[in-house]
Chain A
């Protein structure tokens, strides 16, 4: 492929993979048939680049997905590729304050990518909408919350790839054989002993926030789980651990596929350190996640980071049905478009709209920088969103349970506290 016999784009892709592999000191590349990437042109810099450049979307792909200044004609993708979240929800552009011009660029990108054979899942949670790697499958995924879910819960194997390496992988079906692709790099390094029962989704988010802070980019092993956590709980746990730290893989003893017991999780090695997670640690994590929250008046409730599952939408609807949200408060819930279709059928979208809220797709407030106008205080049930939203959008953020957030949407005031 490097000699150009498969065309210039594949040659440039291979050139990038070789430079990247040498930088890592990887011994070789490995075959992959599962790439998750962002390719769109909706962020401001890429948007301007696309507008000024005669090469159009091929020029955007060449520069931003292949690190190649020459415009090369991009062929159809070689391997199964899914698109991650986007910068806007085209069906809620007006509410999100997005211009018609930007929607046009979005649609242009969509047509281009669809034509290349990129699956337009448009979500940070591809594993919720059918892209579910099997144990041992070599993947090339971006998006830290998806990477950690793939490695830890599914037993798929991926490093945190970037836009350029994922772009090269989709045209070649190759990625450096390094890091989490190798058995020996998947073993636990730190032990977390639970001294309390971790209950709801928010509670799992708090635990994740604590663990990320403690182990940074290493591999934590959680011991002492009393009830098997569901998809949403592990999704929120991983998203939090990859925000406060750089965790890309974890084990839960007796739950995740490479940790039936301690021996399997740690291999021949011993934990570098052991941490106990009890009421004091939980309280400290809660205070850290809530460090920007000051004003009780809440003008925005954002749910769906990472994108909500249908189960979470159902839970929200049980809390929201027949209620009306406060006149000064907006409620936006984000989910993959495929899950929204089910919510439409189930009447959940109507329950949310009747209450005055909105069910949106494709993006979120931190990634797309889209929020209702004039928001100063937001409420979220995601530790990841509480971590990023204040830094990116300059707002205060309260973190609590989903019920705390719905209560805030209805009353316009924050009354959450650690139960």
Chain B
């Protein structure tokens, strides 16, 4: 089985693993997700109808309203948060959103996770060590 290792910067510490859910679309919080089910609801989003609950969510970054963090905060309290978050573009929305989601999160990778990781791959994230281990499906 092919294993790929990415190195990046810790955004939120901790370790977790799960199946990857990958999108090249940015994600909206308020008006973009249903925080009670962990489902993407934005009309033209490629993941519309898919749930990120327990998944390692791999995406470019956050967009939209300043309600981003509070939506992911509610998702965490509803027990439907992602297991980990990996993203490329740092903004205040995603930084705060990742912090209040309490799941390991990383950015600033040596390889683009959107190129390397596909939906369904098994991903182990150790944010404290700055390491992501991808096992291809």
Most A C-beta atoms less than 10 A away, residue of B42, B70, B89, B98: B70
Count contacts on B: residues with CB < 8 A to the other chain: 35
| Pair B65/A20 contact, Cβ less than 8 Å | no
| Pair B63/A23 contact, Cβ less than 8 Å | no
| Pair A164/B70 contact, Cβ less than 8 Å | yes
Which A residues touch B93, using CB under 8 A? 160, 162
Within residues 13 to 52 of chain B, which ones have a CB less than 8 A from any CB in chain A? 26, 31, 35-36, 41-43
Q: How far is the CB of A148 from chain B (nearest CB, A)?
A: 11
Count contacts on A: residues with CB < 8 A to the other chain: 34
Closest to A246 in B: B63
The CA-CA distance from A131 to B92 in the complex, in Å, is 23
Closest to B98 in A: A23
Contacts between chains A and B (CB distance < 8 A), count: 91
| Pair B63/A217 contact, Cβ less than 8 Å | yes
| Pair B92/A67 contact, Cβ less than 8 Å | no
Interface residues as binary, A210-230 with B (CB distance below 8 Å gives 1, 0 otherwise): 000000110000000000000
Closest to B100 in A: A67
The CA-CA distance from A128 to B9 in the complex, in Å, is 41
Which of B62, B74, B78, B99 makes the CB contact (< 8 A) with A23? B99
Which B residues touch A391, using CB under 8 A? 31, 41-43
**A179 within 8 A of partner (CB):** yes
| Pair B11/A23 contact, Cβ less than 8 Å | yes
Closest to A44 in B: B36
Which A residues touch B9, using CB under 8 A? 25
| Pair B31/A161 contact, Cβ less than 8 Å | no
Knowing A246-B63, A246-B64, A392-B31, the reply to whether A159 touches B92 (Cβ < 8 A) is yes
Which B residues touch A64, using CB under 8 A? 70, 73
The CA-CA distance from A142 to B93 in the complex, in Å, is 10
**A163 within 8 A of partner (CB):** yes
Q: How far is the CB of A79 from chain B (nearest CB, A)?
A: 19
Knowing A45-B74, A142-B66, A246-B63, the reply to whether A162 touches B92 (Cβ < 8 A) is yes
Interface residues as binary, B59-82 with A (CB distance below 8 Å gives 1, 0 otherwise): 000111111111001100110000
The CA-CA distance from A142 to B74 in the complex, in Å, is 18
| Pair A20/B95 contact, Cβ less than 8 Å | yes
Q: How far is the CB of A365 from chain B (nearest CB, A)?
A: 13
Closest to B91 in A: A217
Across the A-B interface, the 4 shortest Cβ-Cβ residue pairs: A162-B69, A23-B95, A159-B92, A142-B66
Mind listing 5 A-B residue pairs with CB under 8 Å? A23-B11, A25-B9, A45-B77, A164-B99, A390-B43
Measured CB to CB, the residues of B under 8 A from A are: 9, 11-12, 26, 31, 35-36, 41-43, 62-70, 73-74, 77-78, 89-93, 95-100, 105
Measured CB to CB, the residues of A under 8 A from B are: 16, 19-20, 23-25, 45, 49, 63-64, 67, 142-144, 147, 159-165, 176, 178-179, 216-217, 243, 245-246, 388, 390-392
